[in-house]
Amino acid sequence: MSADLSFFSLILGASVVVQLVMLLLVVVSVLSWTMIFRKRATLAEAHSGAESFEDRFWSGGDLANLYHEVSSDSDNPRGLQNIFVAGFKEFSRLHRKGVDPMSVVAGAQRSMRVALSREIDDLEVHLSFLATVGSTSPYVGLFGTVWGIMNAFRGLSNVHQATLAMVAPGIAEALIATAMGLFAAIPAVIAYNRYSNEVERLENRYDNFLEEFSSILQRQAHD
């Protein structure tokens, strides 16, 4: 009588430990894919927002008017808008107090640096989870495989004549855990590498804007 080696039969016939490992990997994989799609939308929105704001910023309009427009458009500006609002707000506050120009620009830069740091922190949310999934999932799957194979061979301890057919189901169900570990890890690693690069590009873009805006504020502070 041949053993049923179908995928679902092997999962249902696996030991409790191997089933728990498989369940954990399925849950982790679902969470990973959810975060991958959310992060993709977040980064696409960040790129689009930066492109749109830079077009408005470099159109040659009055910075005070742009500040009021951005502030009225959203109570919680994001990306370059947040950096611009933070810098111009601090610049205006210090300028009204009659602070010397160098201190005014330095204060605006500090505010923009804080805003930039917060923006990058927001963009990096869940990236550490993807990195953890990518690095640990294969080992979790391997643990399930080792446990399953160990059980398969342990079941032969009281058998006088062992055959491949007797251990095949146990080995097959154990190898499913490794496959599931790789299935969870590979997309997470690819997404982490890609999104880390996207965040780095956005950080460079934000930093370049901060420096260019600081130069503009420095000229205005001396007028």
Instruction: Compute CA distances 13 → 26, 72, 73, 176, 221, whole Å.
Output: 17, 61, 58, 12, 75
CA angle 209, 214, 215 (to 5 degrees): 100
The answer to whether the beta carbons of residues 119 and 198 sit under 8 Å apart is no
Q: DSSP 3-state assignment of 117? A: helix
Q: Which residue has the higher pLDDT, 72 or 196?
A: 196
Query: Tokens 């989870």 map to which residue?
Result: 129
pLDDT band at 2 (very low <50, low <70, confident <90, very high): very low
Mean pLDDT of 15-20: 83
Q: Which residue has the higher pLDDT, 197 or 222?
A: 197
- Per residue in 59-80, pLDDT tens? 888 888 999 888 887 777 889 9
Residue 9 has pLDDT above 50, yes or no: yes
Report the pLDDT value the prediction gives residue 162, as an integer from 0 to 100: 53
Tell me the percentage of the chain whose pLDDT exceeds 90: 52
Q: DSSP 3-state assignment of 124? A: coil
Report the pLDDT value the prediction gives residue 168, as an integer from 0 to 100: 65
pLDDT band at 110 (very low <50, low <70, confident <90, very high): very high
